[in-house]
Amino acid sequence: MEISLIKNNMKMFKYFDLLKIVLSLFVVSIHLNNHINNIYWTRISSMAVPLFFSLSAILFWNRLTKNDDVYILKHYCFRLFTLIGSWSLLLSPLWLQAFIHQYPDTWIYYLIPKLLLYGGCRGGYFIMSLIYGTIILYYLHKVLNKYIVLSICLIYGLYYQLVVWYIIPDYLHVRFHYYFFDTDFLPFRFLFYIDVAAYLIPYISNKLKKIKQFQFHASAFLFILTICINSSSISLMVGIIFQIVFLASLSNIKCNNLPNYLIIFRKMSIVIFFIHFVVIDYIEEILFSLFEINNISNIEFRTFYEFMFVLALVLPLSFFIVSFLSKRITFFKNLY
């Protein structure tokens, strides 16, 4: 079966870049050490990574045609390998030292598998999962009906997420951790979000243009429903529907040329995703101790201050890399 999707190289999705930087800030909040243990915030922030996967995938799937799809796939994967390779090289003194410290006797044997599965630096699993997930789905669609592929991805992804949230036991034993090997960071968990970008979002955004306003209203309703439903399992399912409808709504808003600030936001979102780990892991504790943020007893105020403190470091640094360093040193262009 050939993949035949709508080719739309001239038009660009206006608000996808803005959404990316918002999602990157949610990711920062997720990784703060003293995260607020709030069910509503957990449900909202848990949608950040899946939306990131769908956003990254839809721009790829939307370029496929019957003639040059293999070339586009190779170019897409090469670009992502360059991205994760550049970050892994830049941050190698940090992640490699930590990896050797964690596995002092066996690190040499695990280094290559780690690089191939998750990349080197923290957060590398996202890029590697996007690469492998896209390749897997591309060839699955060659041999299976697209709705069968989508159904398999949905069932597996839903089951895995219910296991992660401890809503159901892991009857199939698909989730496990052995040394550095962690199934939470393998591409299979995110296949649905990559695949839904290929079929559901282009279908909705092109077939239902006359009811754009309904899509936005439906998105708002589903979002409220997602965070307010008592049942976590139902909330998870409603949240999946919300993400599809929400991205479909945004994909209806296109333009010929993106404003410069949106292009900068898109580039910054990738830099923020990787650089915030460095700030949290190596700089946060020193500065928090210096400014006595750790002494704040109210956990909500403390988390807020942590979040704002990290942003105060990450945002200017990412802007500096995108707007200054990358224009003077070619290597830094590979970081986004």
Residue 1 counted as domain residue: no
Please state, in angstroms and rounded to a whole number, the distance separating the CA atoms of residues 40 and 46.
Answer: 10
Domain holding 201, by residue range, is 12-335
Residue 2 counted as domain residue: no
Residue 223 counted as domain residue: yes
**Given phi > 0 = left and psi -120 to 50 = alpha, else beta, which region is 166?**
left
pLDDT on residue 165:
81
Contacts of 152 (CB under 8 A, 6+ apart): none
pLDDT on residue 283:
73
pLDDT on residue 245:
82
Residue 6 counted as domain residue: no
pLDDT on residue 83:
95
pLDDT on residue 310:
84
Query: What is the DSSP secondary-structure string of 292-322?
Result: TGGG---HHHHHHHHHHHHHHHHHHHHHHII
Task: For residue 22, give Cα distances in angstroms to 48, 176, 276.
Answer: 9, 31, 14
Please state, in angstroms and rounded to a whole number, the distance separating the CA atoms of residues 87 and 83.
Answer: 6
Angle at 190 between CA 96 and CA 303, to 5 degrees: 65
pLDDT on residue 135:
94
pLDDT on residue 328:
92
pLDDT on residue 136:
94
Q: What is the pLDDT along the chain (336 residues), one digit of tens a residue?
A: 334 443 444 456 677 888 888 899 888 888 875 555 667 777 788 888 898 898 888 878 877 765 568 888 999 999 999 999 999 999 999 899 989 988 898 889 889 998 999 988 989 999 999 999 999 999 998 899 888 999 999 999 989 988 988 889 999 888 988 777 888 888 888 999 999 887 765 555 555 555 566 667 788 888 888 888 877 778 888 888 888 888 877 776 666 676 788 889 889 999 999 999 888 877 766 666 666 655 555 566 667 777 888 888 899 999 999 999 999 999 999 999
pLDDT on residue 5:
41
Residue 243 counted as domain residue: yes
The per-residue b/e assignment along 124-162, b for 16 or more CB within 10 angstroms, e otherwise, is bbbbbbbbbbbebbbebbeeeebeebbeebbebbebbbb
Q: What is the pTM of this model?
A: 0.86
Residue 255 counted as domain residue: yes
Residue 199 counted as domain residue: yes
Residue 7 counted as domain residue: no
Q: Domains in the chain: how many in total? A: 1
